Amino acid sequence: MPIATINPTTGETLKTYAPLSDSELESKLALAEKAFAQHRQTSFADRAEKLLAAAEIFESEKDRLAWLMTLEMGKPIHQAQTEAAKCATACRFYAKHGEAFLADERLPEAEGRCHVRFEPLGIVLAVMPWNYPFWQVVRFIAPALMAGNVGLLKHAANVPQCGLALEELFLRAGFPPGCFQNLAIENTTVSRVIESESVAAVTLTGSVGAGSAVAALAGKLIKPAVLELGGSDPFLVLPSAPLAETVAQAVTARVQNNGQSCIAAKRFIVHTDVYDAFTRQFVAAFEKLCVGDPALPETDIGPLAQERAVETLEKQIHTGIQAGAKILTGGKRVPGPGFFFEPTILADIPTGDGFAREELFGPVAMLFRARDLDEAIALANRSPFGLGASIWTQDDAEQQRGIRELQAGQVFVNGIVASQPALPFGGIKQSGYGRELGVAGIRAFVNAKSVWMPG
């Protein structure tokens, strides 16, 4: 697809960008090599100072940055402002804790004087998606820069202005040219960048297909990779959960970011004792949601990011209906310009059908009835994905079972699954491998070098 800003609210193409030529790409790789040679020698204090400067820009200019997100991928403006501010928290987190996370580790019970030191690998390529066009990038680049690495960003083709804004922001924060560069390249060029001897590692957030292709190439080249892929997160509701509050959280968990989030709750698995009451309130809440211009503060759900996303949802819902699913509300595209889709709830979905295992990327919820906690956990785990899960109950024994038995990279108890700087973030199964954020995120692309000296 072309590298272009296409306003999803109107469908209008606002600006297009020519991809880098071969010589321009080679120049950027050379600049990254030069930058790494210098940046790796800088102190943690120097890197932290620059990350703190970046945090200040994210906060002071959050309205400008938010508007770019709303313009290019349709994020509701208040959510976009929150995303820009969240980027500041990640920069401050690694500025504060990065040095301690990478401090030399002394090894007990080892012969001689031994320790492990953590050294940067070099140039890290990030292939990033459009749905969180600033936060997804910052949770990679903040720890990478703090560790002494440098970054190359291949952003999604429909958010080119967000990519350019990020490069400019880190330059203004004081990072020298080449420490973080935006690459205006097409998907077909990604493999060439990964194959470059200059590039040491790769991280990707995106589809299972894209992750599989990058993983295969990185594996062939013996280069480390972190993959954060799709998700079909379960949201388990048990009888002791306060119903009204849980329904309100369920709605937010499904329609945040216009329903376009890997960690959005997608499968709502409700105990039979509260299923009917939950369903009535859930449907009523969906039908009250305001769908419209994402630039307006009252809008709950803006457009999907691309025309093809609407088409994909239409096909998936048609498949679900053929399999026996029932539409409780919504179910179709909103007439008129732009890429809008009705908030939709599907029920009576055959659990053994392939449709129940799909990821629906948009404001569409799948509702399941469970006889008891055993069946609820079994349904939750009957998925090729394992990114996040949440369990809603006041019973401590049920909470502990959910924590132990739900197959996911993160389990939230009575809370919506969310990423935050201190928590390692990632999945299992087809949701990927490796971790971002937390101490694991900054150690993802370093060399843990063992050092031995005679005692």
Phi-psi region of 105 (alpha: psi -120 to 50; beta: other; left: phi over 0): beta
* Alpha carbons 92 and 50: distance in angstroms, whole number: 10
CB 400 within 8 A of CB 238: no
- In which residue are the tokens 């999945």 written? 427
Structure tokens at 405: 């038995």
- In which residue are the tokens 């998936």 written? 316
The residue among 311, 355, 306 whose CA lies nearest residue 332 is 311
Adjacent-strand bridge partners of 368 = 269
262: annotated active-site residue: yes
Exposure letters 36-70 (e unless 16+ CB within 10 A, then b): beebeebebeebbebbbbbbebbbeebeebbbbbb
33: annotated active-site residue: no
The residue among 294, 213, 317, 301 whose CA lies nearest residue 264 is 301
The residue among 101, 134, 44, 118 whose CA lies nearest residue 440 is 101
Which 8-state DSSP code applies to residue 256? G
- Alpha-carbon distances, residue 73 vs 62, 134, 310, 333, 447 (angstroms): 16, 12, 13, 17, 36
* Alpha carbons 73 and 9: distance in angstroms, whole number: 9
Alpha helix (H) ranges present in 324-372? none
The residue annotated as part of the active site, out of 72, 83, 167, 228, is 228
Residue type at 34 in one-letter notation: K
- In which residue are the tokens 């449709």 written? 355
Which 8-state DSSP code applies to residue 176? P
* Alpha carbons 166 and 40: distance in angstroms, whole number: 21
Question: How many CB atoms sit inside 10 A of residue 9's CB?
Answer: 19
The residue annotated as part of the active site, out of 262, 342, 358, 398, is 262
Catalytic residues: 228, 262
